[in-house]
Structure 1
């Protein structure tokens, strides 16, 4: 499986460029939604990436190595691609992954729930069953 398509690479690069542009002018850093999710099909590891550095290998995002302590940081696309798992498997890209939640929400939720996978379940449930907004209730 191709871990990053040209379209995904372009989106990840655009986020990195946007962050560098903002860093130079003192404005708050952007908080984009993750673009891509990688996962171990036979384990608990998962990664969410928002940026791809100009070296074409270094990704920034949320990494969860299955120890109940997801962390924001850098990880290597080539290292993820080189992982060899049982049954001839490797790390895969979740081709159905999409999110409109910023990375900070993912990181907070993953830390509270203990994993990216648990955070994904919780965020999906919240999206499917949004809490009512009492300010929008109108009687009569």
Structure 2
């Protein structure tokens, strides 16, 4: 599997350009993550929103499993070079759903202690919004409910 296919690289480059423009105009920029990388034998997880013009430096949220996910830069080449047990390497989540802007990921990951737990919380929130509200009960609460 290609760690970073062309269409995702293009989206990261576009976000990088947009980020520089917003910074120059002193405007906030809060993109949604483009790609998620993870260790198949551990808890290390990275969410990237943009890539620098060097083609290697990614920006996003990194979680190495110490309970304190951090915003910052990380190297695509270093992630690609990681060798894990059983001949495995870092993988890209091909079914990743960005769910929210990076600021919400960061806040949720810091509150829960990991990107994985943040993803579960954000998914739960997404599906809670999709569920219809329960119908109103015309006769008041059922026996045992309320006072």
Are the equivalent residues in 1 in contact too, given 2:12–2:51 (CA < 8 A)?
yes
User: Which residue pairs with 1:17 in the alignment?
Assistant: 17
- Where do residues 62-101 of structure 1 align in structure 2 (5 Å cutoff)? 62-101=61-100
Greater CA radius of gyration, 1 or 2?
2
Give per-residue Cα distances to partners, 1:111-136, cap 9 Å, x unaligned: 0000000000111011011299xxxx
Tell me by how many angstroms 1:55 deviates.
0.5
- Alpha-carbon separation, structure 2, partners of 1:80 and 1:25: 32
**Total equivalences in the alignment:** 133
CA RMSD of aligned residues (A): 1.7
| TM-score (norm. length: structure 2) | 0.86
Are the equivalent residues in 1 in contact too, given 2:37–2:90 (CA < 8 A)?
yes
Structure 1's consecutive aligned runs of 4 or more residues displaced over 6 angstroms after TM superposition are: none
- Any unmatched runs of 5+ in structure 2? 132-147
| TM-score (norm. length: structure 1) | 0.90
User: Which residue pairs with 2:3 in the alignment?
Assistant: 3
